[in-house]
Structure 1
């Protein structure tokens, strides 16, 4: 009986880890080898399966570094099935949901509210959680201007009155007032007929008014630059340069590592060469921030980084696998005391990498192991094809015959969800694989990967999730550094 229970625990742990990998990597969008419909169908099945069989663990996944798309789906699933939860489960879920909603970009939460309304999920628990989230919004006027349709729908769905008569008029009866006392609301009113007023609005709102007034792109970007968030400045810097708007200039030194890596890969090769010193220093500074207290503590590290043609990604996730690999490269450089990077293409200039050629993972893994690393990290979608299967055989022989004691820690990080297998593609049963979204999560994922080796059961995984849940619900006091701005609307 004990053997059966132990086997059941291993199966449950494997199921939950499979879901965690999916929740980190999958976004329901097209990947290089699968269509968006396949991704959504596969992901929907996983959510239904884990929610139905492991409700407490399903909720605990909110405390991990899952992407916003899956965090919203988990919240929706928990709220839609509130009647199936016990009182204790509802209390824990309520705290997890409230904390996760506070971290989500507001546009993602308003989109979630729209989905809850469409699914007719409007129980008392749902209304209470959304009421508290709306009450905690720091600037209701900004939400009213920037997310007007979403805020109106949220108030209707939760049966709440707007916070103040003026805001209520702005949302539901804007023609009633000839002017608003709140400056931002009045700027929105005046922007309909006064061009200068639109430059007092957030960029995403002002853009529509600029088109309405026929303002040229260069002029608009130059004048609206002070109203942009850091992420908007980064996204529009090259566009501003093309249109002569020099005021649109991002402070690269302050950008998150993965976001910055994506920006660098979007630049033409000539620009990367010309700005080599600036871009390299910005990436290394971002990597040092991400490494934090672990900087230089990982000993000898070797990395096999996939820059094959499949790292192109898709039209919806352009260069996403390569972006993850480049960001991991700079983060591992900061974490390691001695670092050896090996790109599958054989290139040695990380700043100029681009997706090209086959994926000779096996050969690169042999080269990496020749350096006798303490840690080997493999960042790849797992499609080893030059020759096929060599990576799995190399890793099997290494782990079973050459290094059975595990002196070298090997972890495979995969940024691509495989819809057909309901998981990220694995290289070998003897090597743990974890899903990867942002390089900043790499240290946590390497720690989580130990559960994917198949030798750890449900009690250990549950204890780990409980620990992460406690840390998530009771975070340490904020540092004195400035709070980062919210992610832009296209983030994650």
Structure 2
């Protein structure tokens, strides 16, 4: 590949990575779900057709689960187009990525492969190995029964043990099961007490069948609920003014916790200020880890304009990312200044409102003399339009050509029309972001977008991330 071709490939990969981090095929503030899916499908087809090795390597980056699933599916659907060495490398990356995905997402991938008629030897081996690595087959057989059964049939697998096989294919033909969870499922058909031994999503159906009052069911099933189920129930209950189980704030990931906080009425945030702020700070410290306080003087411009409200399917998502980044940067920096576009100074009470005066806030942030400036925004600078880009251009070309201040724009919103996240200026690096937890890795990746390193360095970075993923999975880390 020529030098020019390598540079184009690097640009294409970075564009795709931004999309794979931010886009989920759902409606955004300025584009519908159909536009999002069409744009994303084009990018996947383009990358797979032109840069298959790099396309597979993106599985090792911090992309979202939606795009990881799409990459896995497309690689397996086009296995005949890959060489022997490519298939071996792809197989290892796919297996590692599946170990990181939620089980329901993986069963969804297997179902899509079944509907597409993809049943080659490699696909069957991947399904077999993933199911064999599951820690509790009985749990999967109960909670994901339909997907579990279809995956076994598609891969021509027999369940481990006669009892599990009977449960999967003829569940009510047996008078009793020795496995407690399977027996609880059988008993739940006629005994109310048994349903509280089941996973929440399974027990919910049995509770409705037995006519158990909702309040009684929620109180008794609470110990069986995951943190995500608890959070979703909290949000649903608040919308319908119904009771729910308390949210376990100390177990929530940082960005999910920020979403939860923003879903609360202002009065409740004020009443629970110490609890909520403490939980956000503690979650940020967990994410920062050994890098806590090591980033020097940091300033951030955080977008809380009206467009940060997101969409009906991604409510307040951009604002939640900004709030989570605010707390994480405070943990990473030894000296931190956070500036909201609205001018608010109380992060706990932020809400999406008003225009986006990014240029003015960037000027304010640069006046603090930071060694790092982070801008978390969807990039729609409109008060006045274009000021942010001009400020950044002048700063880079006239005031700080030596790049004493590192400037990175993190954008949580995919722009379907441009097949990328919206950029403020070619003078600074822009990277997509979905979860604040990925911020340190994205700042590292941004060096390639800024042009300070070349295509060879980007390829080496992808290879290193792939090796790291393979090593971590081999050691059994970060599996779900």
Name the TM-score, length of structure 2 as normaliser.
0.97
- Structure 1: give runs of 5+ residues left out of the alignment: 487-492
1:255 aligns with 2:256: no
1:234 aligns with 2:231: yes
Deviations along 1:316-348, whole A, 9 cap, x unmatched?
Answer: 111110010000000000011111101011100
Change (3 A) 1:221 1:485: farther
1:374 is aligned to: 371
Aligned-residue Cα RMSD (Å) equals 1.7
8 Å contact 2:19–2:414 — kept in the other structure?
yes
1:193 is aligned to: 190
Per the alignment, in what secondary structure is the counterpart of residue 413 of structure 1? strand
**Equivalent residues in 2 for 1:71-86, closer than 5 Å:** 71-86=68-83
Change (3 A) 1:476 1:167: closer
Deviations along 1:416-470, whole A, 9 cap, x unmatched?
Answer: 0011110011000011100101101100000000100135332111011111111
- Please point out which of 132, 151, 156 is paired with 2:153: 156
Per the alignment, in what secondary structure is the counterpart of residue 474 of structure 1? helix
Per the alignment, in what secondary structure is the counterpart of residue 122 of structure 1? coil
Name the TM-score, length of structure 1 as normaliser.
0.94
**Equivalent residues in 2 for 1:214-225, closer than 5 Å:** 214-225=211-222
1:108 is aligned to: 105
Change (3 A) 1:164 1:235: same
- Please point out which of 439, 442, 445 is paired with 1:445: 442
1:397 aligns with 2:397: no
8 Å contact 1:313–1:321 — kept in the other structure?
yes
Per the alignment, in what secondary structure is the counterpart of residue 121 of structure 1? coil
1:184 aligns with 2:181: yes
Deviations along 1:146-186, whole A, 9 cap, x unmatched?
Answer: 00110111011111112222112112112321221111111
8 Å contact 1:235–1:263 — kept in the other structure?
no
8 Å contact 2:472–2:478 — kept in the other structure?
no
Per the alignment, in what secondary structure is the counterpart of residue 160 of structure 1? coil
Shift in Å, 1:478 = 7.0
1:273 is aligned to: 270
8 Å contact 1:170–1:185 — kept in the other structure?
yes
Which piece of structure 1 moves more, 306-315 or 226-235? 226-235
Structure 1 Cα separation of the partners of residues 208 and 478 of structure 2: 30
2:57 is aligned to: 60
- Structure 2: give runs of 5+ residues left out of the alignment: none
1:117 is aligned to: 114
2:169 is aligned to: 172
Per the alignment, in what secondary structure is the counterpart of residue 199 of structure 1? helix
Deviations along 1:215-234, whole A, 9 cap, x unmatched?
Answer: 22111110001111122223
Change (3 A) 1:239 1:50: closer
1:42 is aligned to: 39
Structure 2 Cα separation of the partners of residues 340 and 363 of structure 1: 15
Structure 2 Cα separation of the partners of residues 234 and 164 of structure 1: 36
Change (3 A) 1:243 1:33: closer
